[in-house]
Structure 1
């Protein structure tokens, strides 16, 4: 998700020392337009989540596992952002945007749109960072790799993006 820089509201907030749900409530109460980024140390490397706010409501979510080159959007991403809020190592940053900038983010990232129900947010209680989400991504990546390798074997391709066949007579191609 490409995001404009915006006006920094909070930067470098230690995720381990902040009441994340309280911070969300504060942002929502102020009818905030902008986004919150949370960057944490997962088991396999850095992870980054983003919540986009429009008039104080969460309207989009994105989560990225850098090690696995995997980006999740929408509801799946939202659950991971909440999980990241319980990490021991990481930072939170909040940037203010104009309403028009938020609309552009939504227009170009429709798959990220997710609006959680407010009463569900009140019941959220995450006490510990779970690596289960990362393990699922790792497993999906492994399955994807296996599928790719099987496909290459099926078509007897030695390596992806293989080398040109030097022995092939190009006159027969035309």
Structure 2
């Protein structure tokens, strides 16, 4: 059974993203992520910016003090990180309208395409993985500690498998 799509608002700054069909791909990836955590996708919203490397480098410099392009950035609406490494974050309450908005994601076209090419995987599968990855960040998951990375990567594998995408960590292109 296909999980329902999440409400996703997408701002496309770089027209090259048109080839990815983000209006279909993004809500499906976000919906699969939420469904895997037993959260009803239709209860939540994510905003996404589809931009180029120059724009994401500016955002990365502004918000992370790293003036270089990256594949995906996330801005959670709320800090949901667990107190203990490897623990489950505090997930949003579907019935709480104050928790409807999960946050914002940004994807950089050139970096995403170069990573997919380097890894020898389809751009669509790689972008789907990055949206799942970014959505997990919005939900409080991270990969800073080994325990957190193990939990997050295991979830990504499960979610991507439901979307028919092979294990992305057999070839690592995420930072």
TM-score, normalised on structure 1? 0.27
Structure 1 or 2: larger strand share?
1
> Per residue, is there more helix in 1 or in 2?
2
* Structure having the higher Rg: 1
TM-score using structure 2 length: 0.27
